[in-house]
Amino acid sequence: MSAVLRAIAFLLILLIPGLQPESSGNKVETFSCGAGGTVNESGESMSDENNRDDSEWQKRLTREQYEITRRKGTERAFTGKYDDHYEDGIYRCVCCGNELFDSKCKYDSGSGWPSFWKAIDNKKIASVTDSSLGMIRIEITCRQCGAHLGHLFNDGPEPTGMRYCVNSASLEFEKRK
Residue 165 annotated to the active site: yes
Residue 72 main-chain phi, psi, to 5 deg: 60, 40
Amino acid at 146: G
Are 106 and 116 in contact by the 8 Å Cβ rule? The answer is: yes
Window contacting Zn ion (CB under 5 A); options: 26-34, 72-80, 93-101, 127-135? 93-101
- Residues 98-127 within binding reach of Zn ion (CB under 5 A): 98
Contact flags string 28-67 toward Zn ion, x per CB under 5 A: ----------------------------------------
Nearest residue to 119 (alpha-carbon basis) of 137, 135, 142: 142
Build a one-symbol-per-residue string for 128-157: x at contacts with Zn ion by CB under 5 A, - elsewhere.
--------------x-xx-x----------
Q: For residues 114 and 92, what is the distance between their CA atoms, to the nearest angstrom?
A: 13
Which residues fall within 8 angstroms of residue 151, CB to CB, at 6 or more apart?
130, 137, 138, 139, 140, 165
Binding residue (CB under 5 A) for Zn ion from 93, 125, 149, 169: 93
Count of all residues that appear for the chain in the document: 177
- How far apart CA 161 and CA 48 sit, in angstroms, is 35
- Contact call for residue 171 and Zn ion (CB under 5 A): no
> Across-strand partners of 115?
107, 165
Q: Which of 95, 140, 149, 165 is in the footprint of Zn ion by CB under 5 A?
A: 95
CB nearer Zn ion, residue 6 or residue 71 = 71
| Residue whose CB is less far from Zn ion, 94 or 165 | 94
- C-alpha–C-alpha distance, residues 111 and 59, integer Å: 31
Q: Of 147 and 166, which CB lies nearer to Zn ion in the complex structure?
A: 147
Nearer to Zn ion, 55 or 108 (CB): 55
Please list the active-site residues: 165
Site of interaction with Zn ion (CB under 5 A) = 93, 95-96, 98, 142, 144-145, 147
